[in-house]
Amino acid sequence: MTETRNNEIKPRLEIDAPTARDSQRTSGPQAGRERRERGTDTEGGYGGEGESRNLPPCRRKPLSTSPDTRLPMTPTVRLTDEQITFYHENGYLAVDAITTPEEIERMRAAYDEIFARQAGRDEGMQFDLAGTDEDDKTATLPQILDPRRYSEALRDTLYEANAHAIARQLLGGDAKMNGSHAIFKPAGYGAETPWHQDAAYWSPANDYHSLSVWMPLQEATPQNGCMEFVPGSHRREVAPHRHINNDPRIHGLEIVPDAVDLSGAASCPLPPGGATFHDSRTLHHTGPNRSDIPRRAFILIFGVPPTPRATPYDFPWQREEISSYTKKQARK
Ligand code: NI
C-alpha cells in the first residue's frame, strides 16, 4: 500500500445552519433498481498523522453543525468554486462535514443492525466483496447493495440531501441518485479493497458521468481503511481489471498488477460524517482494517445519463465472473 500524503489544497466546506424544520418531508430521490452496474465498492486507505496545522486538508477538524436532531431535507452545504475546480482537476474531493453528528449516530445504529441480521443476503444483496462468499466462511469485506431499502434511518437523510446537492454542483442540475451501498471492514481483519475504477464494474457500452460519495460513520484513518485516490486518474481510460487474486469466484475487482501507474496517490482520512466524492474513473483504494474499531462506509452514487460509446470497451472480467453474487443475481 502506497504511503503518501495528501498535500492537495482542499478548501473548507461551507455549511449553513439548517433552518428548515419542515414537517412536510418529501421523499428523497429514489434509488434505481439494483443492477450489476450499481457498483460494488469505493474505497482507499493509508495516510499519515501530524499536527493539526500540517494535516492534509481532508483531515481538518469537522465543522460544527446544528445540534438540531431533526432531519431537514433542505441541503445545508454548498461547494465553493475552488472546491468545484479541485474536483474537476483531480477527480476527487474531500469535505469535512456533510451531515450532523446526531444523524451519524442514528445511521451507525441502523447500519450495524442491517449487517447483524444479514439483510439482503438471501436475495443476493449482501455478500463478501473480497472473498468467495461461502455461508460457512467469515466475510472479510461484507457489502450490502441498496442499504436504504433495509432501514428507514438510511433513507431521506440530510446526508442524502447534501450529497445530491453537491452532485448537482459537480455534474449538473439533472444529476440523480442511481444507487447506494454499504461496505463494512470488520475490526482487525477487514480486507483491503484493491485499486480499481468503479466504471470497471459497469457497462462497457457507456461512458459514465457519475460520482460516488463515500461517507464514514466513524473516523476513517489510514489504520482502518480510509480512501486513497490517484489525482487526475479520472482522465484515463478504464484500465485492465481482474477479479481479486485473479479468482472469478470473488466479485471484487482489482487493477491488473502493474497495469497502471499508481504513484502520487493521495490519502483522505476523514472525521465521522465527512465525505469524499470521486469520479467513476478515478483510481481508488482502501487499506485493510488494522484497527480495533469497525470501519463503516455508506456510499451514494449520482450521475447524469451516460454517453453510449462509439466502440464499447471489452471487459473480459465481466464475462469471467462466477461469484456467488452473480449466481444469486442470475436466480432473481
Ligand atoms: Ni470503488
Could you report the per-residue pLDDT of 123-161, keeping only the tens digit for each?
Answer: 888 988 888 888 888 888 999 999 999 999 999 999 999
Distance 196 CA to ligand 1 centre (A): 6
Residue 185 phi, psi dihedral angles, 5° rounding:
-110, 105
Distance 25 CA to ligand 1 centre (A): 31
Distance 277 CA to ligand 1 centre (A): 11
Position 332 scores a pLDDT of 61
Per-chain mean pLDDT for the chain? 81
Distance 44 CA to ligand 1 centre (A): 8
Distance 67 CA to ligand 1 centre (A): 32
Q: Look at the alpha carbons of 170, 68, 30, 75 in this order and tell me if their dihedral is positive or negative.
A: negative
Distance 298 CA to ligand 1 centre (A): 12
- Of 162, 279, 284, whose CA–CA distance to 209 is shortest? 279
To 5 degrees, how large is the angle CA 89–CA 201–CA 308?
Answer: 70
Distance 145 CA to ligand 1 centre (A): 13
Q: What percent of the chain has pLDDT over 70?
A: 76
**Cell of residue 19, nine digits:** 433552518
Distance 309 CA to ligand 1 centre (A): 21
Whether pLDDT at 174 is above 50: yes
Distance 323 CA to ligand 1 centre (A): 18
Tell me the CA distances in angstroms from 243 to 5, 250, 277, 281, one per residue in order: 28, 6, 24, 17
Distance 320 CA to ligand 1 centre (A): 19
Distance 287 CA to ligand 1 centre (A): 13
What's the average model confidence in pLDDT over 92-113? 97
Residue of higher predicted confidence among 46 and 99: 99
Instruction: Report domain 76-331's class.
Output: mainly beta
To 5 degrees, how large is the angle CA 133–CA 37–CA 45?
Answer: 65
SS3 149: helix
pLDDT in tens, 288-298: 999 999 999 99
**Cell of residue 215, nine digits:** 461517507
pTM greater than the 0.95 cutoff? no
- Of 102, 94, 92, whose CA–CA distance to 64 is shortest? 102
- Burial class of residue 257, CB neighbours in 10 A (0-12, 13-18, 19+): exposed
Position 238 scores a pLDDT of 97
What's the average model confidence in pLDDT over 77-104? 97
Distance 198 CA to ligand 1 centre (A): 5
What's the average model confidence in pLDDT over 48-69? 39
Position 69 scores a pLDDT of 53
The answer to whether 47 and 95 are in contact (CB under 8 A) is: no
Distance 11 CA to ligand 1 centre (A): 24
To 5 degrees, how large is the angle CA 201–CA 211–CA 90?
Answer: 110
Distance 22 CA to ligand 1 centre (A): 35
Distance 71 CA to ligand 1 centre (A): 28
Distance 24 CA to ligand 1 centre (A): 35
